[in-house]
Homo-oligomer: A and B are copies of this chain.
Amino acid sequence: MKRILTLICSLCSVAAMAQTPSEYNLAGKMFPQVNPDRTVTFQFNAPSASKVVLNLGKDYEMTKNEKGVWTVTTDPQVVGFHYYAVKVGGLSVIDPASAVFYGTSKYSSAIEVPESAAEADYYTPKQGVPQGAVRSVRFYSDVCKEWRRMYVYTPAEYYSNPDKRYPVLYLQHGGGEDEQGWIFQGRADIIMDNLIAEGKAEPMIIVMNSGYAQIPGSTDSFDAFEQMMTEEVIPFVDQRYRTIADREHRATAGLSWGAKQAYDLAFGYPQYYSAVGGFSGIIVVGDFGNRANPGILDKAQRNAAYNGIFSNPKQFNKDFDVLFIANGEAEGSHLANMSKTLKKAGIKNTFYQSPETAHEWLTWRRCLYNYVQLLFKK
């Protein structure tokens, strides 16, 4: 009886595993597989290797079978999007079975550990929901002296309402990522399609640029960013797309390092933006090195920052329809403190914390989902 049960369980287990190859696997690839208990089983073909290690958050030593295929099953994983790598003989390589994503300044393999269908609903494509489009657009930057690419999301109704004009959100990725991140890792287009279909967000255009923008010859890899955005990207977008080209219909947001860039845009160029969101990133006032205690907590430093924008809360609250501060629960309380300090100083803001998640894409999908519902409501 025990043997029969074991056999049945073993069959069940095989059946369950066979149904769950990771959604990022390339065509015909059965591994990695995400198991029902959120462990992940990896395979890697390297007959001549003497040691192979799978890195997913931490290292897991893989075991070789008689065919030279290495395998390992990890601990249960947190839900969401995770990069991983395979280490062979001191070398970190991608898994040829996986699609790749640009992150940590290179192309990396990744898995998606699914949430429940209900939890994942807002970033899942649905039949019956009209699909917007993501456009890849080349443009020449005179500031950077190079051809660049931006991604532009237009809502589904952009096609059917040829006379309607739309507000614009300028959305930034994090350090080591690029303009692809919000689409491929973040699923911003699906999130927007679903929210717009439910009437929870205003139809809007989203423009995604790489935050790396360098003045030729400089050694600072992003010293041209603000000038490029202000003098080139915004005019280009307003010329090419049916935008409402005023500050009341222009927002910005970003994640991690991109949050700092979004704050720099909004508070450095308030004539352009009326809303700003920072996901897992601080408003940098004073010493950027002291992240645990950004200068914003200090009244004198805060009031001197950005030409004194925080020194007149009444004007600030009039100028900015939305200041959205957010992070993941596992990231700690420093952003909750920043939000509280600003509120105490009279600066209105909305704080959001993503349950359980860390400095990772599921946090930022949730941040975007919550942030865009606040935008352009006037």
- Residues of A with Cβ closer than 8 Å to B? 26-28, 46-49, 88-94, 96, 99-100, 105-107, 125, 127, 131, 133-140, 147, 152, 159, 162, 183, 189-190, 212, 221, 240-241
Nearest-CB residue, chain B, relative to A88: B91
Complex Cα distance, B174 from A224, in Å, reads: 39
Q: Tell me if A48 and B90 are in contact (CB < 8 A).
A: yes
- Taken together as a complex, chains A and B put the C-alpha atoms of A92 and B45 apart, in Å, by 10
Q: 16 A-B residue contacts at CB 8 Å?
A: A26-B106, A28-B221, A47-B90, A48-B90, A49-B89, A88-B91, A92-B96, A100-B107, A107-B107, A133-B137, A133-B152, A134-B135, A134-B137, A135-B135, A136-B183, A162-B162
* A134/B136 in contact, CB under 8 A: yes
Q: Determine whether the beta carbon of B159 is less than 8 Å from that of A140.
A: no
Q: Considering the chains assembled together, what is the distance between the CA atoms of A96 and B26 in angstroms?
A: 19
Beyond A27-B105, A91-B93, A133-B135, 4 extra complex contacts between A and B, CB < 8 Å:
A88-B91, A93-B94, A133-B137, A133-B152
Shortest CB-to-CB span from A372 to chain B, Å, is: 19
Of the residues B27, B28, B127, B137, contact of A131 by C-beta under 8 Å: B137
Measured CB to CB, the nearest residue on chain B to A239 is B159
- Shortest CB distance A123–B (Å): 12
